[in-house]
Amino acid sequence: MANNRTFGGPGKRNGGKSQSIGSRVVPVAHLLKIAACILLLFAATWYFGSFCAEFGRSYVTFLLGGPKLLPLMYGLVLSIVFMSVAAGLVVTLVRPIWIVLAAFAISAVFAISFLGVTSITAILGLFFFVCTAMYAISAVKKQKNQITWSLHPLFDAEQIFVLPLALLVAASFSFGYMDDARQRGFLVPPEIKQIYISSATSAAQAAIEKNYPKSGPAQQKAALSQAMPQIEKSWESIEGMMTPVARYVPIILGVVMFLLLESVCIVIAFVPLILLLGIFPLLRLARVTRYQIETVEAKRLVID
């Protein structure tokens, strides 16, 4: 007995010049389309890696918050969505699977190259490849088992794919903090100290004006000057409490950032899939892809 199975496949039916992949003879146009998908993945990885480097340099902006944080968050969402869309195209359209895995291996090298080559980034790169390989294998396996092609395999595997992305962004955040602390020699960034001193000074000024409403500006200024050493001492006590765990501060910040990014990725996970729902029909209209009908054997138990 036979079943018809429909899935999204690359290429056209017409031939032309051909090359071989393994034992298969593949038209050159087909190979060019595969190359285009892989190059798109590399471009997305380059953009994502460059954003990670920028995110590490701008870690203070994230800590301070405010309007300057919006472009940073926009770049974060855009880079993750771009990566997810490019990976979805490669996993869906590129075959055989070893080409997909090779593309993700090269992407892992691209991604960590922006963070510098160290033993830690090498481990991150390996983790990136393992997760993306699991994503690809899982999605391809489910696509093979589909009766009619759909995006459900990509949706089911999306959380596997965004995990290393969140980890790389969090790692770049920690690396940025450590590099800046090493160069400027601080425990807590001076920008954070400045905000604390400014807030504490404003609170002391308001308390003086409330408690001594009849005193003149000169008396209030003198009282504020007397309060400043206490404000500085309170900051020093905060730094003193942090000193024993100073070496773990970047790691703690990285873990917190990773947990925040995981939440962000869960929220935006549907965005790449919505984009792919629009991209695949356009690719068919442009004759880049087509549906292919396959007849497969089905094993059943019947009365002899």
Tens digit of each residue's pLDDT (9 = 90 or more) over 198-227: 888 888 888 877 777 767 777 777 877 888
How many angstroms from the chain centroid is the CA of residue 27? 35
- Split into its structural domains, the chain has a count of 2
**Same domain? 102 vs 207:** no
Cα separation, 275 vs 297, whole angstroms:
34
| Same-domain check for residues 164 and 237 | no
Angle at 170 between CA 169 and CA 173, to 5 degrees: 90
Say if residue 225 is in the same domain as residue 252.
no
Q: Which of 300, 62, 60 is nearest to 194 (CA)?
A: 60
pLDDT tens by residue, 118-143: 899 999 999 999 999 999 999 999 88
- What's the gap between Cα 159 and its chain centre? 11
Count of CB atoms within 10 A of residue 5's CB? Answer: 17
Per residue in 8-19, pLDDT (tens digit) is 444 444 444 555
Give yes or no: residues 25 and 127 share one domain: yes
- How many of the other CB atoms lie within 10 Å of CB of 157? 22
Secondary structure (3-state) at 214? coil
Task: Report yes or no on 302 lying in a domain.
Answer: no
Mean pLDDT computed over 246-263 = 91
Confidence of residue 79 (pLDDT cuts 50, 70, 90): very high
Could you tell me the sign of the dihedral formed by the alpha carbons of 294, 297, 302, 304, in that order?
positive
- In this structure, the answer to whether residues 82 and 208 fall within a common structural domain is no
Among the candidates 222, 242, 262, a domain finishes at 242
What is the Cα–Cα distance from 128 to 108, expressed in whole angstroms? Answer: 6
Is 237 found in the same domain as 250? no
Percent of the chain that is helix, strand, coil (3-state, to 5): 75, 10, 15
Tell me if 54 is assigned to some domain: yes
**Is 303 part of a structural domain of the chain?**
no
Q: Which two tokens stand for residue 31?
A: 């190979």
Q: Has this prediction a pTM greater than 0.85?
A: no
Q: Residue 288 domain-assigned?
A: yes
- Residue 108 sits in the same domain as residue 180: yes
Same domain for 137 and 207, yes or no, is no
**251: how many CB neighbours lie within 10 A of its CB?**
13
The verdict on 94 and 208 lying in the same domain is no
Q: Within a domain: residue 62?
A: yes
Same domain, 218 and 88: no
CB 226 within 8 A of CB 219: no
Examine residue 55 and state whether it is found in any structural domain, yes or no. yes
Same domain, 42 and 152: yes
Mean model confidence pLDDT for the chain: 85
Domain interval for residue 211: 190-242
CA distance 158 to 150: 14
Q: What is the pLDDT of residue 302?
A: 65
3-class state of residue 7 by DSSP = strand
Query: Is the CA virtual torsion 210, 213, 215, 218 positive or negative?
Result: positive
Q: Is residue 213 part of a domain?
A: yes
Q: Does 197 share its domain with 292?
A: no
